[in-house]
Amino acid sequence: MTVHVDQGERKSILRSRLRTARVARELAASVDIDAQISRHICDLLETIPVTANSVVALYVAMPFEPSVNSARKDLRELGVTVLVPVVSGHDLFWAADGDERCWERNSFGTLEPNLDDAISSAQALPMCAAIIIPAHAIDPFGFRLGQGKGFYDRALAELAGLERSPLLIGVTFESEFLPDVPTQAHDIPVDASVTELSVRWFNTPD
């Protein structure tokens, strides 16, 4: 008997397997991985190019996600305005990156700025040169597997209809670049991916 598994269930199964692998990952290398990912992000952004007048949206890593702390610091030192996400209900808002000592933990255990200092995805994301988002996995077509809550799907939907969209960059570990990621109609592929070992382009900007 053939058992049919829909794409949503395939995503859940794959997500669970990848989460288990992340927990088991050797944490001693995390600092080196952070630095390597930062270098690749900054090298990639130079090709746009991103300058001191640019705005870049960049996630704050949850536990076991690839850290981008070094990239946040490096971009700020270049004079780039870095926006980080703030969770409100089912949506992401965005605030300027800054002193984490003034931030609070959200329901996912991630530090974030105060919502009073944030603006909506519809306001923030169209002004960005690049949007850098986390992924559990990415495939050769740029499709990513997220955490399953849909926060970034809803945020990126605000870019629909723009004449020129920001560059979308997904960040994952090299071992999570997979031949195939289950996709659904609402999934938006990234233009490029960054891991600790590589940069891959799926849609080269004009």
Residue 2 located in a structural domain: no
Residue 17 located in a structural domain: no
Average pLDDT for 114-134? 97
Residue 10 located in a structural domain: no
Question: Could you report the per-residue pLDDT of 146-199, keeping only the tens digit for each?
Answer: 887 889 999 999 999 898 899 999 999 999 999 999 888 888 999 999 999 999
Residue 170 located in a structural domain: yes
pLDDT recorded at residue 23: 62
What's the total number of domains in the chain? 1
Let me know how long the chain is: 206
Per-residue tokens: 46: 């130079």
pLDDT over threshold 50, residue 28:
no
Residue 25 located in a structural domain: no
Residue 88 located in a structural domain: yes
Residue 20 located in a structural domain: no
What pairs with residue 168 in β-bridges? 131
Residue 15 located in a structural domain: no
H helices within 97-194, ranges in order? Answer: 121-124, 151-156
CA gap 66, 139 in Å, rounded: 17
pTM: 0.86
Q: Apex CA 204: angle with CA 84 and CA 201, to 5°? A: 70
Q: Which residue would you say has higher pLDDT here, 25 or 27?
A: 25
pLDDT over threshold 80, residue 22:
no
Block residue for tokens 């794409």 = 7
**Lowest-confidence region among 6-20, 64-78, 136-150:** 6-20
Block residue for tokens 């997500």 = 15
Maximum CA extent, the chain? 60
Which range among 30-34, 103-107, 155-159 has the greatest average pLDDT? 155-159
pLDDT over threshold 50, residue 1:
no
pLDDT recorded at residue 5: 61
CA gap 51, 38 in Å, rounded: 16
Q: For position 155, which CATH number holds? A: 3.40.50.10420
pLDDT recorded at residue 4: 54
User: Count of CB atoms within 10 A of residue 197's CB?
Assistant: 13
* Cα dist from 98 to 66, 103, 133, whole Å: 20, 9, 18
* Omega cis (within 30) before 49: yes
pLDDT over threshold 70, residue 206:
no
Mapped onto helix, strand or coil, the DSSP state of residue 197 is coil
Question: Could you report the per-residue pLDDT of 36-95, keeping only the tens digit for each?
Answer: 999 999 999 999 999 999 999 999 998 888 999 999 999 999 999 999 999 999 999 999
Residues of the domain holding 169? 30-201
